[in-house]
């Protein structure tokens, strides 16, 4: 008897609850604004952990504290250093994997930004990793973005559309500018003006992606390469880059080879 | 006995309970289907709301943001300050508009309509997508001069915005992307296609053109239409139309491309709604259409980047100028500027 009443009440509650889903959840347009979660529950999720170490020569880069000397003998101090790495691809003999929604903003001010994990990698042995320095053409031409690509990160031009692929700001007594400031905003995503550079790094030995272990890849990035090869930069001649063009392309050619693998922990 | 009473009470109360708890919320349910329609015989728009599904709620949110001064540092200067509905979303009577702290810009605030057909924005075309167009005036020191993170902070504190974002996007998160997408739902829906010219083209009632207007249409088609292409009245190209460099020596498109061939090139503006959008040109130097006619017929300033079509100006008699002006006035869309859907909600 009591059980019957309780049962009837349960039905009533259920009815009310389900009949009002629309009110509780008035979603007109679930916007596709968050990166798709490609890992499906239950499936093993094979991963690779990356750590980017910004260096100046052989020393860890420090902002606003240390002076460094470029290839040309100019002194520089860095107070802002950010760049995009994107479109990560792992390549093996019989397997390869390109990460979807693969956009990372490396910010020297934010330790957490320098370590990230590539998810959902197919199991296998991989020999090299490649990525883009910058943000690909498509994301420069398809409207409002979010996450690492949010214009709030101040890596986006509002007057000449495009992401600042890499930004280096600081001081140099050789600059001859107001307060000796240097500022390199490297942008340009199409045609002659493109500064997009693909980096491919070969692993010293194949890396196995498998269940139960996450290999850790440490990559160093030497900021002094910006000023070294193939284009020797003299800061008194080029203290600022603020538009697309040959100078930005020159700088991109320089920093394209600043990455080297320092360590792989299987 | 006891259970019968319980069941009886339930039977009576349940429907009432269900109905009362499920009254449609007028703020939530769409009033009517809301869609973007390409006007008859118009080309396909450049922007098609891909990844930004149109809804009345999204449009309303965009409209609210458009007229909200909190998008500016002074909490007063909204998009609508320099883009007023009665002025076809230009600012009538202003060569340059006032931003925060009464700071003046250096380019004339253009009318906003039929933006979904534009593949570039601003007089120099520097911005390539309607969704990110608002970023420039928001961050520009002489316009709204505000930081995106400040705007998000202000909107989060509002009593209504979080719920509105939830209704449109699924949860209460307020992000720059959602702000831009909502603004675009409003801006992209500002379609002006009901001038007397449009009715004439559709052979509708109210679409009769007078003799001088028809003569003006013919003059327009032989002298102006190659750049001011129908039905949008622009080909959206960049051209030097023979204006002498103004007081700011604005280099135009070259400011973005750094290409000397782009010096003094500006985006060809639409000729719709001229009655509401004076003064004219990128720097608002001409206060009347007569001055514009006189420029093209006898005021062209030669320079290496002058558009070849204007090398010898456009030869027009005074009567032809008057006819042309009469025709241009058939492009004024009273329905557009008075459309209740586009007015600020007070």
Nearest chain B CA: its distance from A6 CA (Å): 10
Query: Omega of the bond prior to A230 within 30 degrees of 0, cis?
Result: yes
Residue B121 DSSP code: B
Averaged pLDDT score across all residues of chain A? 88
> Whose CA is closest to B195, among B333, B324, B328?
B333
Nearest chain A CA: its distance from B279 CA (Å): 24
Query: B10: which chain A residues are within 8 Å (Cβ-Cβ)?
Result: 8-9, 12
Query: B122: which chain A residues are within 8 Å (Cβ-Cβ)?
Result: 159
> Whose CA is closest to A88, among A52, A27, A129, A123?
A129
- A102-157 confidence digits (pLDDT tens): 999 999 999 999 999 999 999 999 999 999 999 999 999 999 999 999 999 999 99
Give the burial string for A50-67 (b: 16+ CB within 10 Å, else e): bebebbbeeeebeeeeee
pLDDT, position B33: 56
Rounded CA separation B51/A36 (Å): 14
Mean pLDDT, residues A229-245: 97
pLDDT, position A50: 98
The list of chain B residues with pLDDT below 70 reads 1-33
Among A24-28, A38-42, A92-96, the range scoring the smallest mean pLDDT is A24-28
CA torsion, ordered A109, A110, A113, A115, to nearest 10 deg: 100
pLDDT, position A69: 98
Query: A156: which chain B residues are within 8 Å (Cβ-Cβ)?
Result: 132, 135
Q: Inspect the interface and report whether the beta carbons of B22 and A20 lie closer than 8 Å.
A: yes
Query: A20: which chain B residues are within 8 Å (Cβ-Cβ)?
Result: 21-22
pLDDT, position B246: 86
Q: Inspect the interface and report whether the beta carbons of A33 and B130 lie closer than 8 Å.
A: no
Rounded CA separation A35/A55 (Å): 31
Question: In the structure encoding, which two tokens stand for residue B140, read together?
Answer: 């520009």
Rounded CA separation B145/A61 (Å): 33
Per the CB < 8 A criterion, the answer to whether A189 and A175 are in contact is no
Q: Which chain B residue lies closest to A246 (C-alpha atoms)?
A: B258
pLDDT, position B80: 96
Q: Which of A3, A25, A158 to mutate to test the interface with B (most CBs of B within 10 A)?
A: A158
Q: Which chain A residue lies closest to B30 (C-alpha atoms)?
A: A28
Query: B131: which chain A residues are within 8 Å (Cβ-Cβ)?
Result: 143-144
How many CB contacts within 8 angstroms connect chain A with chain B? 132
Inform me whether the pLDDT recorded for A210 exceeds 80. yes
Q: Residue B263: how many CA atoms within 13 Å on its side-chain side?
A: 11
pLDDT, position B120: 98
Rounded CA separation B126/A192 (Å): 17
Query: B25: which chain A residues are within 8 Å (Cβ-Cβ)?
Result: 23, 26
pLDDT, position B93: 87
3-state secondary structure (DSSP) of residue B233: coil
Query: Considering Cα of B52, then B58, then B64, then B69, what sign does the dihedral take?
Result: negative
pLDDT, position B3: 52
DSSP string computed for A9-65: HHHHHHHHHHHTHHHH---S-----S----PPTTS----EEEEEEEEETTEE--TTT
Rounded CA separation B40/B303 (Å): 40
Q: Residue B56: how many CA atoms within 13 Å on its side-chain side?
A: 10
Inform me whether the pLDDT recorded for A3 exceeds 90. no
Of B3, B14, B22, the CB nearest to A4: B3
> Can you tell me the ipTM of this complex?
0.85
**Judging by DSSP bridges, how do beta strands A181-187 and A197-209 pair with one another?**
unpaired
């Amino acid at each position: 008897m009591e059980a019957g009443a309780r049962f009837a009440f349960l039905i009533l509650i259920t009815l009310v609850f389900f009949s009002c889903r629309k009110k509780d959840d008035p979603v007109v347009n679930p916007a596709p604004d968050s990166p798709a979660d490609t890992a499906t529950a239950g499936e093993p999720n094979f991963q690779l952990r990356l750590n980017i170490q910004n260096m100046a020569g052989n020393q860890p880069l420090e902002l606003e504290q240390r002076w460094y000397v470029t290839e040309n003998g100019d002194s520089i101090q860095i107070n802002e250093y950010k760049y995009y790495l994107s479109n990560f691809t792992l390549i093996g003999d019989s397997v390869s994997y390109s990460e979807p929604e693969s956009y990372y903003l490396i910010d020297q001010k934010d330790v957490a930004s320098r370590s990230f994990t590539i998810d959902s990698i197919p199991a296998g042995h991989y020999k090299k990793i490649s990525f883009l320095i910058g943000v690909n053409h498509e994301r420069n031409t398809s409207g409002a973005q979010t996450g690492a690509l949010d214009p709030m990160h101040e890596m986006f031009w509002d007057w000449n559309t495009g992401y600042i692929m890499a930004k280096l700001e600081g001081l140099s007594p050789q600059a001859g500018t107001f307060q000796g400031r240097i500022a390199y905003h490297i942008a340009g995503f199409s045609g002659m003006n493109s500064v997009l550079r693909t980096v491919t790094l070969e692993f010293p030995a194949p890396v196995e992606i498998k269940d139960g272990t996450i290999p850790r890849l440490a990559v160093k990035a030497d900021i002094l390469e910006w000023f070294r090869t193939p284009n020797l930069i003299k800061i008194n001649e080029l203290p600022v880059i603020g538009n697309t063009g040959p100078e930005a392309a020159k700088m991109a050619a320089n920093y394209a080879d600043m990455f080297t693998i320092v360590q792989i922990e299987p | 006995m006891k259970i019968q009473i319980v069941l009886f009470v339930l039977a009576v109360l349940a429907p009432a309970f269900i109905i009362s708890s499920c009254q449609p919320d007028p703020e939530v349910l769409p009033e009517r289907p809301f869609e973007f329609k390409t006007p008859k015989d118009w080309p396909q728009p450049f922007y098609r709301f891909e990844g930004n599904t149109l809804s009345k709620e999204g449009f309303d949110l965009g409209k609210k943001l458009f007229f909200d001064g909190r998008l500016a540092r002074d909490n007063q200067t909204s998009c609508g300050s320099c883009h007023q509905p009665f002025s076809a979303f230009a600012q009538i009577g202003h060569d340059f508009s006032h931003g925060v702290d009464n700071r003046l810009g250096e380019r004339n605030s253009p009318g906003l309509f039929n933006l979904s057909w534009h593949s570039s924005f601003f007089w120099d075309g520097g911005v390539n997508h309607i969704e990110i167009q608002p970023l420039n005036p928001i961050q520009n020191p002489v316009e709204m001069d505000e930081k995106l993170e400040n705007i998000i902070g202000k909107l989060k504190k509002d009593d209504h915005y979080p719920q509105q974002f939830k209704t449109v996007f699924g949860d209460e998160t307020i992000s720059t992307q959602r702000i831009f997408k909502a603004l675009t739902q409003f801006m992209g829906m500002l379609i002006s296609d009901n001038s007397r010219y449009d009715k004439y083209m559709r052979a509708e009632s109210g679409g009769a053109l007078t003799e001088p207007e028809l003569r003006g249409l013919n003059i327009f088609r032989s002298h102006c239409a190659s750049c001011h292409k129908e039905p949008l009245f622009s080909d959206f190209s960049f051209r030097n139309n023979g204006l002498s460099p103004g007081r700011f020596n604005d280099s135009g498109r070259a400011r973005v491309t750094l290409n000397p061939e782009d010096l003094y090139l500006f985006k060809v503006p639409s000729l719709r709604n001229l009655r509401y959008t004076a003064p004219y040109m990128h720097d608002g130097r001409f206060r009347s259409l007569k001055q514009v006619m006189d420029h093209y017929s006898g005021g062209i300033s030669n320079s290496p980047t002058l558009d070849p079509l204007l090398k010898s100006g456009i030869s027009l008699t005074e009567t032809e100028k008057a006819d042309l002006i009469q025709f241009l006035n058939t492009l004024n869309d009273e329905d557009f500027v008075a459309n209740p859907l586009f007015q600020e909600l007070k």
